[in-house]
Structure 1
Amino acid sequence: MKKTISIIGGGPTSLLLAAFLDVDKFDITIYEKNKTLGRKFLVAGKGGFNLTHSEPISDLIERYTPSNFLKNSLLSFTNNDFRKWLHDLGIPTYVGSSKRVYPEEHIKPITVLNTILNHLKNKGIHFKYNHVFSVWDTQNNLIINNEITYSDYTVFSLGGGSWKITGSDGAWLKTFEEKGIKTIPFKASNCAFKIDWNSKFIEDNEGIPLKNITISCANKQQKGEAVITRFGLEGNAIYGLSPQIRAQLKLHNKALIYIDFKPTFTLENVASKIKNSNFKNTTQILKKELKLSPSQITLLKTYLSKDSYLNAEIISKYIKKFPLEVNDLSILDEAISTVGGIDINAVDTNFQLHKIPNQFCLGEMLNWDAPTGGYLLQACASNGVFLAKYLNKID
């Protein structure tokens, strides 16, 4: 007789888990509180559908915080494995110039989602929509839609605390906390960071990207671009520094970041370009010799004294290490992802809850962090496949 598995939540982690579970061994049901599955999957696709990242798996693992927590999952189902699986389903992918992996250009996110759902339906996976988990009974059975649900194994994949429109609202956190499972409050990640700009500067430069820069915080650097917003800065050059910025905010209520406007030049190169230029006007030198953008030049003009701006040695240092103070994170629901949720020490190496045998937590509801660029989806997929392989081996 088959054993039963209840999967709570219908996001990417759940879909990959169900796809790799042995249907000859298990009767599998996905319970989703919305009318459809994969809503966050589709929302994520609107901003450029990064399925994964193509860098070597050893480098990819190090992108996560903490990296060791997800290592076994990522090795069990690598970025190359993910691409092969999608290809076998009829979803070919390609590597973009950023090394991110996308579906072939004619394939839309809804097509990817429907292909996966059709695969699950053909496997015999059951779907129950508008089904909401609320609490456990005294025997640790689930209460779903006010009725007891019995199953041999339960897998929670309830998402993080952002994108409420998709159903990922983090409302489940209190339920787990009251059960005695250690939780951590949600915080924004891969989000906008608050900077108190000079009023004249932001009036003239709101919405303008700072391209081809490197931003650093603490011991971490991130290349890319960042968009100047009225709130502060956002973009891939700062998203990857979320753990470092949050740590400084927690300790000091502020964080220092540094922008390198010319990461391909050394400090000596920058100073030489300025000192040896045939142009006499500093602004012209920065524009013509160093190819700085108008916004970068305006930043330097705004925040440096006139004497510092005109001093070749001083301005060179600021071009390579321009300081900005971050004062806050954006609100949770505006973040691309969140950290917090179930403390990673509340689960074992197979993601089973220590307090409730045969019940597991996966995906973004666990307290790990990842930058944008396909890393979030890859970790969720790997999480699901890892647990599927573990459950398939149980006698």
Structure 2
Amino acid sequence: MAPQRHVAVIGAGPAGLMAAETLAQAGVRVTVFDAMPSAGRKFLMAGRGGLNLTHSEPLDAFVARYREATPKLASAIEAFPPDRLRAWCEALGQPTFVGSSGRIFPKALKASPLLRAWLRRLDASGVSFSLRHRWTGWDDNGRLLFETPDGRCAIEAHATVLALGGASWPRLGSDGGWVETLRSREVGINPLKSANCGFAVNWSDIFRDRFEGEPLKGIALSFADRSVRGEAVITRAGLEGGAVYALSAELRDAILTSPPATLHVALRPDISHGDLVKRLASPRAKQSFSNWLRKAAQLPPAAIGLLQEAAHASSISLASCSAEKLAELINAVPLQLAGIAPIARAISTAGGVAFDEIDADFMLRRLPGVFVAGEMLDWEAPTGGYLLQACFATGVAAGQGAAKWLVQASS
């Protein structure tokens, strides 16, 4: 391939950096552009929780986590699966391990050592970086336009990989500003929506002030025909946490269709209904209702508060309930979700460039030579390593697609 062929990768997150590495390995001259002053800012933020890179479950179950997008993402993930991602980390001097939940983490349990090693390898392979360059589209001659601290500039590229992320955590660079730029070129884009997000609940002032920030551990959340075990956190605005995120797609779509949505919380899912009824049939004597409930059902204060909050909202007197009715309520606390957390606070984004708009090589059909990777595409997945895995895998696929296109264009 002629050395003068130049590819611009726009976006210095995992998808963009992986596309850049793939292209550099193919002998292409690559420049990575990003609006931020440094690369991988959202990647570093993800690493604060241990950097859950991927998951160890069987590949067929793994790819099914992408829901409706599974047929579109399967080939990219199967070509760069979790085992290859782990080997890639190992080659950067960052070995990984499988946690008790099946999630895969680097042994360093943070992103910074991995990112530093990665950037050193990219530099050694000849990849250039132009930071503080905000992409704004193309000029009449097809050159890429950027806003920089020194003004506007136009860059020529033989191919472009767009990896600008979704719209969650905009202060880290993913602000969704690319949507209108692509729509102006008639690229079909589905609206960006919060994914893996919290939800608003109209708490009473008393409950909010007392329990804000309190965890709900060992619970089960149910909505429609799905039930998920895990944890949640009471926030000032509502509810968030791993178990909530696992149901967020269904809850979000229900709220957008016909709000509100009712989520049911099982506070003691590990106790059978019959056993719970027996426990609640014990006499209260002179104990306060809360103290008796704490001892009989072994509920922590936040769980008791949540039960009382929901009962009040439903005009139910808990003290007057039979043991049977109280047991039902404890393991099916109804919570009305009044809204969806803002997209800026979501862990990830749903919506984006429709898969019908790209070919098998991740190239935009309406813009030959322009490829798309990562969270810009219309897919979503739960937390647990699935988000980063798809970003890495589509970055590889878009990079390979761009390298293939350059060969075809020059022949």
Quote how far apart the aligned CAs of 1:214 are.
Answer: 1.5
Given residue 40 of structure 1, which amino acid in structure 2 is its aligned partner?
Answer: K
| Residue aligning to 2:303 | 296
Quote how far apart the aligned CAs of 1:179 are.
Answer: 1.3
Given residue 49 of structure 2, which amino acid in structure 1 is its aligned partner?
Answer: G
Task: Verify: 1:86 aligned to 2:89, yes or no.
Answer: yes
| Residue aligning to 2:268 | 262
| Residue aligning to 1:27 | 29
User: Residues 315-326 of structure 1 correspond to what in structure 2 (within 5 A)?
Assistant: 315-326=326-337
Quote how far apart the aligned CAs of 1:319 are.
Answer: 2.1
| Residue aligning to 2:77 | 74
In structure 1, what is the Cα distance between the partners aligned to 2:403 and 2:368?
17
Task: Verify: 1:159 aligned to 2:127, yes or no.
Answer: no
Q: TM-score when scaled to structure 2?
A: 0.88
Mark the CA change 1:206 to 1:148 in structure 2 (over 3 Å): closer, same or farther: closer
Task: Verify: 1:196 aligned to 2:218, yes or no.
Answer: no
User: Residues 155-194 of structure 1 correspond to what in structure 2 (within 5 A)?
Assistant: 155-194=161-200
In structure 2, what is the Cα distance between the partners aligned to 1:264 and 1:69?
38
The size of the alignment, in residue pairs, is 393
Given residue 16 of structure 1, which amino acid in structure 2 is its aligned partner?
Answer: M
Q: TM-score when scaled to structure 1?
A: 0.91
In structure 2, what is the Cα distance between the partners aligned to 1:57 and 1:359?
29
Quote how far apart the aligned CAs of 1:60 are.
Answer: 2.1
* Contact 2:265–2:332 (Cα < 8 Å) also in 1: yes
Quote how far apart the aligned CAs of 1:93 are.
Answer: 1.5
Quote how far apart the aligned CAs of 1:316 are.
Answer: 1.8
* Contact 2:49–2:110 (Cα < 8 Å) also in 1: no
More divergent stretch after superposition (335-344 vs 250-259): 335-344
Given residue 236 of structure 1, which amino acid in structure 2 is its aligned partner?
Answer: G
In structure 2, what is the Cα distance between the partners aligned to 1:367 and 1:293?
40
In structure 2, what is the Cα distance between the partners aligned to 1:303 and 1:297?
10
- Work out which of the residue numbers 369, 374, 379 in structure 2 matches 1:363: 374
Task: Verify: 1:218 aligned to 2:224, yes or no.
Answer: yes
| Residue aligning to 1:56 | 58
Q: Deviations over 1:261-300 (max 9, x none)?
A: 223334344334444x587677566434543222212322
In structure 2, what is the Cα distance between the partners aligned to 1:354 and 1:272?
64
Mark the CA change 1:69 to 1:257 in structure 2 (over 3 Å): closer, same or farther: farther
In structure 2, what is the Cα distance between the partners aligned to 1:257 and 1:316?
17
Quote how far apart the aligned CAs of 1:30 are.
Answer: 1.1
* Contact 1:220–1:244 (Cα < 8 Å) also in 2: no
Task: Verify: 1:373 aligned to 2:380, yes or no.
Answer: no
Mark the CA change 1:197 to 1:72 in structure 2 (over 3 Å): closer, same or farther: same
In structure 1, what is the Cα distance between the partners aligned to 2:308 and 2:244?
22
In structure 2, what is the Cα distance between the partners aligned to 1:85 and 1:4?
25
In structure 2, what is the Cα distance between the partners aligned to 1:274 and 1:36?
58
Mark the CA change 1:24 to 1:257 in structure 2 (over 3 Å): closer, same or farther: closer
In structure 2, what is the Cα distance between the partners aligned to 1:197 and 1:210?
16
* Contact 2:369–2:402 (Cα < 8 Å) also in 1: no
Quote how far apart the aligned CAs of 1:211 are.
Answer: 0.4
Quote how far apart the aligned CAs of 1:350 are.
Answer: 2.6
- Work out which of the residue numbers 318, 328, 352 in structure 1 matches 2:363: 352
In structure 1, what is the Cα distance between the partners aligned to 2:225 and 2:400?
36
In structure 1, what is the Cα distance between the partners aligned to 2:99 and 2:296?
30
Quote how far apart the aligned CAs of 1:344 are.
Answer: 2.6
More divergent stretch after superposition (297-306 vs 188-197): 297-306
* Contact 2:219–2:231 (Cα < 8 Å) also in 1: yes
More divergent stretch after superposition (368-377 vs 4-13): 368-377
User: Residue 25 of structure 2: SS of its match in structure 1?
Assistant: coil
In structure 2, what is the Cα distance between the partners aligned to 1:62 and 1:266?
31
User: Residue 43 of structure 1: SS of its match in structure 2?
Assistant: helix
In structure 1, what is the Cα distance between the partners aligned to 2:369 and 2:319?
64
In structure 1, what is the Cα distance between the partners aligned to 2:31 and 2:350?
27
More divergent stretch after superposition (58-67 vs 234-243): 58-67
In structure 2, what is the Cα distance between the partners aligned to 1:204 and 1:24?
58
| Residue aligning to 2:100 | 97
Quote how far apart the aligned CAs of 1:354 are.
Answer: 1.5
In structure 2, what is the Cα distance between the partners aligned to 1:388 and 1:38?
18
Task: Verify: 1:110 aligned to 2:112, yes or no.
Answer: yes
Mark the CA change 1:76 to 1:21 in structure 2 (over 3 Å): closer, same or farther: same
* Contact 1:140–1:356 (Cα < 8 Å) also in 2: no
Given residue 267 of structure 1, which amino acid in structure 2 is its aligned partner?
Answer: H
In structure 2, what is the Cα distance between the partners aligned to 1:68 and 1:255?
29
In structure 2, what is the Cα distance between the partners aligned to 1:361 and 1:84?
25
More divergent stretch after superposition (134-143 vs 36-45): 134-143
Given residue 358 of structure 1, which amino acid in structure 2 is its aligned partner?
Answer: G
| Residue aligning to 2:247 | 241
More divergent stretch after superposition (251-260 vs 262-271): 262-271
* Contact 1:301–1:309 (Cα < 8 Å) also in 2: no
* Contact 1:34–1:130 (Cα < 8 Å) also in 2: yes
Task: List alignment gaps of at least 5 residues for structure 2.
Answer: none
User: Residue 200 of structure 1: SS of its match in structure 2?
Assistant: helix
Q: Deviations over 1:101-139 (max 9, x none)?
A: 22214x642211111111111222122222222112345
